[in-house]
Amino acid sequence: MARRLTGLLVKEMIQFLRDRVVLILVLWLYTIEVVICAVAVSFEVENMPLAIVDFDRTPESRVLVQNFLITESFTSAGTAASAAEATEWLQQGRARLALIVPDGFQRDLVGGEVPPVQILLDGTDSNIAAQARANALAIVGRMEAAATAEQDGPGRAHPVVRVWYNPDGRTTSFTVLSMIALAALMVGVIYPAASIVREKEAGTIEQLRVTPISTTELFVAKTVPMLVMGLVSVFPSLLIVWWFGVPLNGSLAPFLALTAVFLVSAIAIGVLIASISRTLQQALLLSFFGLFPVLFLSGTITPVESMPEALQTVSFFSPLRHYMDVILGVFLKGAGLPELWPQALALIAIGTPLFLLAARIFQRTPAG
């Protein structure tokens, strides 16, 4: 049995290494695609065109405008003559934000009063509008605090906010790590499904059935090399992590161990898809059909806490949700198994039944 299994494992590894298209695809998913998404996909508001309406025309009002423009969040779209003209710019798309400074702004600010400042936002994209609103309010708030600092009484509290794990608030770290997790899921699901179904179409599995090889040995030979290659494929992505300056505060050992557990779930899903697919086209379509719900329920796009309660419960069955906690915890928080054991148990609880079910179905229908 050991000799037969070893021969099958060697055959699968040689077949994988000879498939240049698959090798390029795996390398692309773990490196180039991660770079493209990290550069192009940003949750930060940058260079939003700002329409300026300054009715005060005083040094303090000009300082306020300058405080907006020196940040990376806003760029000048020009000075409008009136609020109506600024509104037209918003309507035309020339500006995404309008800052209207009323007459008497400096007088109220110096006098210790809270001067009203109007901010008009293009809310067609609510996420961007919410971030732009928060940035604008922060800029106005800092100027107000600086102007009234000398008038503060001795009993006034001043909150000091300290951000842990990602003090610079960079979204690049989250994007890079989430894309690596997504690449692991895609490779773990799509490659087993496509590989097995392709052999069905070529008749290779049917030929193996007439040999002394058992279906259990064949199942092991189809899954173990995929698990090994999935783990090996993670290492090129570590170069991308280093290149983007994402810190590795934890140890690679628990990360690789839990990545292997996560890949077991992904490979099991791929084998299940292959078991019910008759053509490669069906396998690919079913793979993407299953990938999107797993992705949406993982918390990478929308926080799990923001989902309806029913979907929050369903999200516990998404292995990607628990793996995201693992990869973010290891790299950004420096967490280890003492902190990540709930995620480890969840991945085992999801992966074990899936793997056993995939093995059972594969043994019953080895040739589709």
What integer is the mean pLDDT of 274-285?
A: 83
Q: What is the Cα gyration radius of the chain?
A: 28
The structure tokens listed for 132 are: 């732009």
Cα–Cα distance measured from residue 317 to residue 325, given in angstroms and rounded to the nearest whole number: 14
> 207's torsion region: left (phi>0), alpha (psi -120 to 50) or beta?
alpha
Confidence (pLDDT) at 368? 44
Is it the case that residue 318 has pLDDT exceeding 50?
yes
Judgement on whether residues 357 and 240 belong to the same structural domain of the protein: yes
The structure tokens listed for 84 are: 């109506």
Domain of residue 107, residue span: 48-151
**How many domains is the chain built from?**
2
3-state helix/strand/coil string of 272-337? HHHHHCCCHHHHHHHHHHHHHHHHHCCCCCCCHHHCCHHHHHHHCCCHHHHHHHHHHHHHHHCCCH
Confidence (pLDDT) at 148? 64
CB under 8 Å to 268, separation ≥6 — which residues?
351, 354, 355, 357, 358
State pLDDT tens for residues 142-184.
877 776 655 555 555 556 667 788 777 777 888 899 989 998 9
State pLDDT tens for residues 208-256.
666 777 777 778 887 888 888 888 888 889 999 999 888 899 899 999 9
Judgement on whether residues 16 and 141 belong to the same structural domain of the protein: no
Q: Over pLDDT 90: what percentage of the chain?
A: 18
In a domain, 157, yes or no: no
Distances from the Cα of 325 to the Cα of 47, 94, 262, 306, angstroms: 31, 40, 12, 17
Judgement on whether residues 117 and 208 belong to the same structural domain of the protein: no
Is it the case that residue 325 has pLDDT exceeding 60?
yes
Highest mean pLDDT among 11-25, 56-70, 125-139: 56-70
In a domain, 301, yes or no: yes
Judgement on whether residues 28 and 54 belong to the same structural domain of the protein: no
State pLDDT tens for residues 110-129.
777 777 888 998 887 777 78
DSSP per position, 122-164: --SSHHHHHHHHHHHHHHHHHHHHHHTGGG--TT---------
pLDDT band at 98 (very low <50, low <70, confident <90, very high): very high
- Taking the model in full, what pTM does it have? 0.78
Judgement on whether residues 132 and 204 belong to the same structural domain of the protein: no
Judgement on whether residues 221 and 252 belong to the same structural domain of the protein: yes
Confidence (pLDDT) at 257? 93
11 three-state secondary structure: helix
Judgement on whether residues 192 and 327 belong to the same structural domain of the protein: yes
Confidence (pLDDT) at 327? 94
In a domain, 163, yes or no: no
CATH code assigned at 80: 3.40.1710.10
Q: Which amino acid is residue 73, in one-letter code?
A: S
Judgement on whether residues 121 and 180 belong to the same structural domain of the protein: no
What integer is the mean pLDDT of 182-204?
A: 83
Judgement on whether residues 147 and 114 belong to the same structural domain of the protein: yes
In a domain, 190, yes or no: yes
Nearest to 230 by CA among 183, 172, 271: 183
Judgement on whether residues 36 and 107 belong to the same structural domain of the protein: no
pLDDT band at 85 (very low <50, low <70, confident <90, very high): very high
